[in-house]
Amino acid sequence: MSATSPDTLAGSGRRLSWRSLASLPPWVSGLIGTLLIIAAWWLISIIFFGPEGAVPSPVNVVKELVSDFGDPIYWKAVAATGGAALVGYLWGTLIGLLMAVVVLLLPITEGVVTQLAVVCSCIPLTAIGPIVTLMTPAGSRGTSIFLAGISVIFTTVVGAILGFRAASQTQLDVVSAYGGGRFKQLTKVRLIAALPAIIAALKIGAPAAFLGAVLGEYFLSGVDSGIGIQLLAAQADNASVRLWALAITCGAIAGLAYAVIGLIGRLVAPWSSGSTEEQGVL
Highest mean pLDDT among 46-55, 105-114, 189-198: 105-114
Higher pLDDT, residue 110 or 221: 110
Whether domain 58-281 has CATH 1.10.760.10: the reply is no
pLDDT above 50: residue 177: yes
Instruction: Say if residues 209 and 148 touch (Cβ distance below 8 Å).
Output: yes
- Whole-prediction pTM value? 0.81
Residue 280 pLDDT exceeds 60: no
User: SS3 string of 98-136?
Assistant: HHHHHHHHCHHHHHHHHHHHHHHHHCCHHHHHHHHHHHC
Q: Where are the domains of the chain?
A: 12-49, 58-281
Judged against a pLDDT cut of 80, whether residue 226 lies above it is answered with yes
Angle at 160 between CA 155 and CA 163, to 5 degrees: 125
CB 260 within 8 A of CB 210: no
Lowest mean pLDDT among 42-46, 61-65, 143-147: 42-46
Judge whether 65 and 248 are in contact, CB under 8 Å: yes
Average pLDDT of 110-125?
A: 90
Residues 6+ apart with CB under 8 A from 208: 151, 152, 155
Residue 76's pLDDT is 92
Most confident of 75-89, 213-227, 265-279: 75-89
Which of 241, 259, 280, 253 is closest to 56 using CA atoms? 241
d(CA 38, CA 34): 6
Q: What is the pLDDT of residues 62-117, one digit of tens each?
A: 888 888 888 888 899 999 999 999 999 999 999 999 999 898 888 899 889 999 99
Higher pLDDT, 163 or 190: 163
| Listed range (26-35, 79-88, 116-125) with the worst mean pLDDT | 26-35
- Of 184 and 197, the structure prediction assigns the larger pLDDT to 197
Neighbour count for residue 104 (Cβ, 10 Å):
21
For 238-265, the pLDDT digits (tens) are 888 899 999 999 999 999 999 999 898 8
pLDDT number for residue 276: 46
Rounded Cα distance, 214 and 191, in Å: 32
* pLDDT in the model for residue 9: 45
Percent of the chain at pLDDT > 90 equals: 32
Round the average pLDDT of the chain to a whole number and report it.
Answer: 82
| Listed residue (150, 111, 147, 165) closest to 280, CA to CA | 165
Instruction: Give the torsion through C-alpha atoms of 213, 217, 219, 225, to 10 deg.
Output: 150
pLDDT of amino acid 211: 93
